[in-house]
């Protein structure tokens, strides 16, 4: 049994805490909202205040605080000598020095890019590795999800959806740099406050593969789909409908609907983190992976003047 701290007990932090308790681990957590701490206690965890006490009392810490707090929370946790699971984005400013410090201290940094655990993504990764579409040439990645949450409850679309879908692009297609980007800082929509809500990003991956990533807060119903075109076929991935389709050069389609559960994905993710702490090779994003996705997010924001 491990003692795991959780900083931030919103929906995702509490989900991780409950999964850890289910797996038989001791969980202590902190959140400035006392009602959230009470929910942790009701689930079998222990509340503690403030952050540094959680770090000191834990073997590892999950950082599920607001994104702008990730850097300082990581700094505090690494200084305490504890392993980290940090939700995406890894930070909103460059955490390179913290990643290097963690490496020097032989501490794990695990980033919550949960799409890597989606069954369709795992299947696509395997098929690409087997050369099912030959050499990838270009790809289109889209996530359009309506939200009317107030700005204080969400990041702009680049840090929010982008941290996931950019990681997906890098995971499936390899390292990339930004070639161009278009960002709408706001849209005249009655239910969406003034915040960047739409972005289109053009990436160039190693080997000359081109991809585009579309992100928005306005699409209803939700779209979360990827098309990858290679010199021997096409691969289509639909994360909403848990569907994947392989199309060969003659147009023959081989498609499958897979059984994906987000609850199961999050449970697998937390197990992978615990195994990573123990020195095992596991699925999941590292601190370096999180940094590579963040660098693209920051570059897009810079191009947009944000």
Residue 306 predicted with pLDDT over 90: no
Domains of the chain: 3-107 (3.40.50.720), 115-260+294-303 (3.30.360.10)
Q: Which residues share a beta bridge with 3? A: 26
- Which of 118-127, 189-198, 266-275 has the lowest average pLDDT? 189-198
pLDDT in tens, 116-142: 999 999 999 999 999 999 999 999 999
Q: How far apart are CA 132 and CA 47, in angstroms?
A: 50
Confidence of residue 193 (pLDDT cuts 50, 70, 90): very low
Torsion from C-alpha of 263, 142, 176, 102, nearest 10 degrees = -30
Tell whether omega for the bond before 68 is within 30 degrees of 0, i.e. cis: no
**Mean pLDDT, the chain, integer:** 95
In angstroms, what CA-CA distances link 276 with 83, 102, 133, 188, 283? 10, 14, 32, 45, 9
Confidence of residue 148 (pLDDT cuts 50, 70, 90): confident
């Amino acid at each position: 049994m491990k003692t795991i701290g959780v900083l931030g007990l919103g929906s995702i932090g509490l989900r991780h805490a409950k999964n850890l308790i289910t797996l038989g681990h001791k969980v202590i957590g902190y959140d400035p909202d006392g009602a959230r701490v009470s929910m942790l206690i009701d689930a079998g965890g222990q509340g503690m205040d403030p952050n540094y006490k959680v770090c000191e009392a834990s073997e590892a810490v999950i950082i599920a605080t607001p994104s702008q707090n990730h850097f300082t929370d990581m700094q505090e946790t690494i200084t305490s000598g504890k392993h980290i699971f940090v939700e995406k984005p890894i930070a909103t400013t460059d955490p390179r020095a913290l990643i290097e410090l963690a490496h020097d201290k032989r501490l794990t940094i695990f980033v919550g890019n949960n799409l890597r655990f989606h069954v369709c993504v795992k299947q696509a990764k395997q098929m690409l590795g087997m050369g099912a579409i030959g050499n990838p040439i270009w790809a289109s990645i889209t996530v359009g999800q309506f939200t009317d949450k107030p700005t204080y409850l969400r990041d702009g679309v680049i840090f929010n959806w982008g941290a996931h879908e950019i990681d997906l692009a890098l995971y499936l297609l390899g390292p990339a740099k930004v070639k161009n980007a278009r960002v709408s800082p706001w849209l005249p929509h009655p239910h969406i406050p003034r915040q960047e809500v739409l972005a289109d990003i053009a990436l160039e991956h190693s080997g000359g593969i081109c991809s585009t990533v579309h992100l928005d807060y306005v699409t209803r119903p939700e779209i979360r789909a990827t098309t990858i075109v290679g010199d021997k076929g096409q691969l289509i991935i639909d994360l909403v409908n848990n569907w994947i389709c392989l199309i060969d050069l003659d147009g023959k389609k081989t498609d499958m609907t897979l059984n994906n559960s987000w609850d199961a994905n999050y449970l697998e993710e937390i197990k992978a983190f615990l195994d990573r702490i123990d020195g095992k090779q596991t699925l999941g994003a590292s601190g370096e992976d999180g940094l590579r996705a963040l660098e693209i997010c920051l570059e897009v924001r810079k191009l947009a003047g944000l």
